[in-house]
Each structure stands twice: as C-alpha cells, then as structure tokens.
Amino acid sequence: TLGQPPRRSLIYFSKGRGKRKTVKAVVKRFLRLDCGLWLRRQAGCKKRLWKKRKPRIRRLRQHVLCNKWQSKLLDKMVTDFWKRRKWYENDPYQLYHERTNFRA
C-alpha cells in the first residue's frame, strides 16, 4: 500500500492577521542551529527496533545535518521567531551552534 504523498501545509496568510504561519511539524521534528543548519534524527529510528541489531540501533540514534536544499526549505516553513538565536542553560548543542568558514 502506498502512503500519503508528502505535503508542506504551509499557510502564507492567516485568517486573523494575514501573517505567515509556522509549520508545527518542523519545529517538533527538527532543531535549527544558530549557523543556519538544521538537525534531525536518522530516518527509521523508532521503527521495527526488534528486528535491528544493536550497532544499527546505536547508529540510528545519532543526529544528522540536513543538506543545503533541505535547510532552505525548512527556513521557508518557519517564521523569523524560530530563526532567532536562543540561549538555553546547559545546552548540549552549544558547541555546534557556530561554524567557521561555512556558508549556508
């Protein structure tokens, strides 16, 4: 059976104020670093774990950087609020927020 085709469900103009809206699924599934890169979990990290071996499960738990095309698409799907720099106490991703010699 085929699943549903992917769709962005992006709202360009809201009913109330006529502003662009953030796609909540992007905020829930991805993390935006301050340098403009997006982090995501490896695909299939929670699927059929009973049939996968331990090294593969460990590899699936790791995070992956999105490529340039995906990062641009995700930037279009969120508002400026989510692109702003955020400061968290004891942030585990603090080392990854700044990249030298990098253009997104």
pLDDT in tens, 39-52: 999 999 999 999 99
Nearest CA-CA partner of 23 in 82, 77, 71: 77
**Span 14-26, pLDDT tens digits:** 999 999 999 999 9
Altogether, the residues listed in the chain come to a count of: 104
pLDDT for the residue numbered 99: 83
Asked whether the predicted pLDDT for residue 103 surpasses 70, the reply is no
pLDDT for the residue numbered 2: 66
CB 83 within 8 A of CB 20: no
Domains detected in the chain: 11-82 (4.10.410)
Taken in order 94, 22, 43, 46, the sign of the CA dihedral is positive
Which one-letter DSSP state was computed for residue 46? T
Q: How far is CA 45 from the centre of its chain?
A: 15
**Span 56-95, pLDDT tens digits:** 999 999 999 999 999 999 999 999 999 999 999 999 999 8
